[in-house]
Amino acid sequence: MLTLAVKSLKNRKFTTALTIAAIALSVTLLLGVERIRKEAKASFTKTISGTDLIVGARTGPVQLLLYSVFRIGNATNNISWESYQEMSQNPNVKWTIPISLGDSHRGYRVMGTNADYFKHFLFAGGRRLEMAKGRIFDGVFDAVLGADVARALGYRLEDAIIIAHGAGQVSFVKHDDKPFTVVGILRKTGTPVDQTVHVRLEGIEAIHIDWQDGAPLPGQSISRQQVLNMDLTPKTITAFLVGLKSRIAVFGVQRFVNQYPQEPLLAILPGVALQELWHLVGVAEKALLAVSGFVVVVGLAGMLIALMTSLNERRREMAILRSVGARPYHVFALIVGESALLTVMGVAIGIGLLYALLVISQPLILAKFGIFIEISAISLYELWLIVIVCLAGIVIGLIPGYRIYRYSLADGMTIRI
């Protein structure tokens, strides 16, 4: 019966090809969305790694994560330099990376930090920041650009950039008396680092030295030269990342930070906060999967339509088969077999298409978005999706199958056109 089904499908090459194409594309979309979903989640959780705790002023964990790692939103409060110093002296602490936010350059966030950032900051399961061009900052007015910043704004080494006060896209208050010089450009990471301008904490301090309460003090301008001779130790920072000597200490240190008597602080575990955040954005991703699920339904509906419309013209074929001894269930099996074949072929081609697309797009996506899409085997979950699609195809085939079964019982060998 299967060879008959194959030959019958071959006979209707055009509709067969269209049906298979529809199923294949819908399966590619379904699995593709599932892959993107997984990769997006993976790359989301890859934005930071190797950091045991993030410490900021007391706020919500997700908010702290958003502004310290994703550069979204603003801190409501800062941490005093003294608290930071004390924390970094803690015997369990291996390293710390101070972060000072609040300024921006043409919509990109400016982050004040120190050289430890380039030494200790890890992402994507242990990748280190690398310089594409130039070097890390050294002088007070040196700036290291993220890959996107440099590309979008067309900056090269030695270009001068002016930092604006505040984090908005358009700012009317600029630190134009103290321009910075681009000394380095980072390689693409696929994380918010790409959209960050990195300067030294002292640089942040320097541009605000003649400011008070978020505005320049009138008549008290201190020149770029003068400021270099002043004490530029920051008074506050926004947050800091902590690496511990032993991960076992993480809860102890967290408790210590959260109960710090001098200042209300919050320490979060980045992994936990990322999960929490993913739950928030995960709704969109589930909606996307649902949409691609519907596309599969449409693809299978197309197959149902193709089979149903072919039934009437095939009643003669069925009568002939009956006359040579086919039983009604043979006729039923022929149609169900056809739909099963269509589905399985569609699914197989869809999977092939997915991998072809992955192979082609992998280098492009890496170059453009810095996301490394792993070409992995079919996961168990994907296998489930595939099995469900195949079963759905066979179940859908039961409808025309039952119909032709009824026809062949009623028609017998009488040919009705």
Q: Which residues bind another protein (CB under 8 A)?
A: 4, 7-8, 10-11, 316-317, 319-328, 330, 412-415
Residue whose CB is less far from another protein, 8 or 339: 8
Cα gap 200→326, rounded to integer Å: 84
Q: Minimum Å distance from CB 328 to another protein?
A: 7
Residues in CB range of 223: below 8 A, 6 or more apart:
177
Task: Provide DSSP, 251-269.
Answer: HHHHHHHHT-SSS-EEEE-
Shortest Å distance, C-beta 330 to another protein: 7
Given CA atoms 378, 381, 382, 388 in this order, what sign does their dihedral have? positive
Closest approach of another protein to the CB of residue 364, in Å = 43
Please give the single-letter amino acid code of residue 250: V
Least Cβ distance, residue 401 to another protein (angstroms)? 17
Three-state secondary-structure class, residue 136: coil
Nearer to another protein, 126 or 325 (CB): 325
Whichever of 301 and 415 has its CB closer to another protein, that residue is: 415
Q: Which of 137, 146, 143, 139 is nearest to 162 (CA)?
A: 143
Rounded Cα gap, residues 317 and 320, in angstroms: 5
- Give the nearer residue to another protein in terms of CB position, either 129 or 326: 326
Shortest distance in whole angstroms from residue 409 CB to another protein? 8
Beta carbon nearer to another protein, 249 or 333: 333
DSSP run (H or E) holding 312 = helix 270-313
Shortest distance, position 410 Cβ to another protein, whole Å:
9
Q: Which is nearer to another protein, 4 or 131 (CB)?
A: 4
- The β-bridge partners of 265 are 57
Which residue, 146 or 400, has its beta carbon nearer to another protein?
A: 400
Q: What's the CA gap between 53 and 84, in Å, rounded? A: 13
Nearer CB in complex with another protein: 12/187: 12
Phi and psi of 260, rounded to 5°?
-60, 120
Q: Is 126 helix (H, G, I), strand (E, B) or coil?
A: coil
Helices (DSSP H) in 69-223: which residue ranges?
81-89, 116-120, 147-153, 201-207
| Smallest separation (angstroms) from another protein to the CB of 415 | 6
225-252 as b/e, with b when 16 or more CB fall inside 10 Å? eebeeeebebebbbbbbbbbeeeebbee
Please enumerate in sequence order all residues whose Cβ is within 8 A of that of 279, keeping only pairs 6 or more positions apart, or say none: none
In terms of phi and psi (left: phi > 0; alpha: psi -120 to 50; beta: otherwise), the region of 21 is: alpha
- Residue 169 or 323: the one with the smaller Cβ distance to another protein is 323
Q: Which is nearer to another protein, 283 or 417 (CB)?
A: 417
Q: How far is the CB of 338 from another protein (least distance, A)?
A: 11
* Nearest-approach distance from CB 395 to another protein, in angstroms: 25
CA atoms within 13 A of residue 174's CA, in its CB half-sphere? 15
128 pairs with which residues across the strands? Answer: 122
- Output the smallest distance, CB 327 to another protein, in A: 4
Close Cβ partners of 56 (under 8 Å, ≥ 6 residues apart): 64, 67, 68, 75, 79, 238, 239, 240, 265, 266
Closest approach of another protein to the CB of residue 347, in Å: 23
